[in-house]
Amino acid sequence: MKQTLIVTSIALLALFIWSCGDNYNSGNEILSLTANDSLVEAGGSIQLECTATDEDGDKLGYIWKSASGTLTPDGNKATWVAPLELGIYFISCTVADGYGASDAATIAIEVIPLPGVGVSGKVLNAVDRSPVANVLVTISGQTGTTNANGNYTILNVGTGNHDAAGTSDGFCPFSAPFTIPDDYDGESFTYNFSMSPMLEAGQTRMVLNWGPTPPDLDSHLLTPDIEGSTHHIYYGNVGSYTAVPYAKLDTDDINGYGPETITINQAFAGTYTYYIKNFNGGSDGLKNSGAVAQVYSGESCDATIIEVPTDSDGVYWHVCDIDG
Task: Look at residues 182, 193, 191, 187 and name the one whose alpha carbon lies nearest to residue 156.
Answer: 187
The values of phi and psi at residue 11, to 5°, are -65, -40
At residue 25, the pLDDT reads 72
Maximal C-alpha separation, the chain: 121
CATH of the domain at 106: 2.60.40.10
Do 295 and 207 fall into the same domain? yes
CA angle 134–135–140, rounded 5-degree value: 140
Query: SS in 3 state form for the chain?
Result: CHHHHHHHHHHHHHHHHHHHHHCCCCCEEEEEEEECCCEEECCCEEEEEEEEEECCCCCCEEEEEECCCEEEEECCEEEEECCCCCEEEEEEEEEECCCCCEEEEEEEEEEECCCCCEEEEEEEECCCCCECCCCEEEECCEEEECCCCCEEEECCCCCEEEEEEEECCCECCEEEEEEECCCCCCCEEECCEEECECCCCCCEEEEEECCCCCCCEEEEEECCCECCECCEEECCECEECCCCCCEEEEECCCCCCCCEEEEECCCCCCEEEEEEEECCCCCCCCCCCCCEEEEEECCCCEEEEEECCCCCCCCEEEEEEEEC
pTM score, whole prediction: 0.69
Do 240 and 145 fall into the same domain? no
Question: Which of the listed residues 135, 169, 198 is the one where a domain comes to its end?
Answer: 198
Do 324 and 204 fall into the same domain? yes
Do 140 and 251 fall into the same domain? no
Residue type, 244: V
Do 148 and 192 fall into the same domain? yes
In this structure, the chain runs to a length of 324
At residue 10, the pLDDT reads 40
Q: Which domain holds residue 79?
A: 26-112
Question: Which of the listed residues 136, 167, 198 is the one where a domain comes to its end?
Answer: 198
At residue 213, the pLDDT reads 94
At residue 302, the pLDDT reads 86
Per-residue pLDDT of the chain (324 residues; tens, 9 = 90+): 444 443 444 444 443 443 444 456 778 899 999 999 999 988 899 999 999 998 888 899 999 999 999 999 999 999 999 998 889 999 999 999 888 889 999 999 999 877 778 999 999 999 999 999 999 999 988 899 999 999 999 988 889 999 999 999 999 999 999 999 999 988 899 999 999 999 999 999 999 999 999 999 999 999 999 999 999 999 999 999 999 999 999 999 999 999 999 999 999 999 999 999 999 888 778 999 999 999 999 999 989 999 999 998 899 999 999 998
Q: Are 61 and 67 a contacting pair, CB within 8 Å?
A: no
Based on the structure, what is the number of domains in the chain? 3
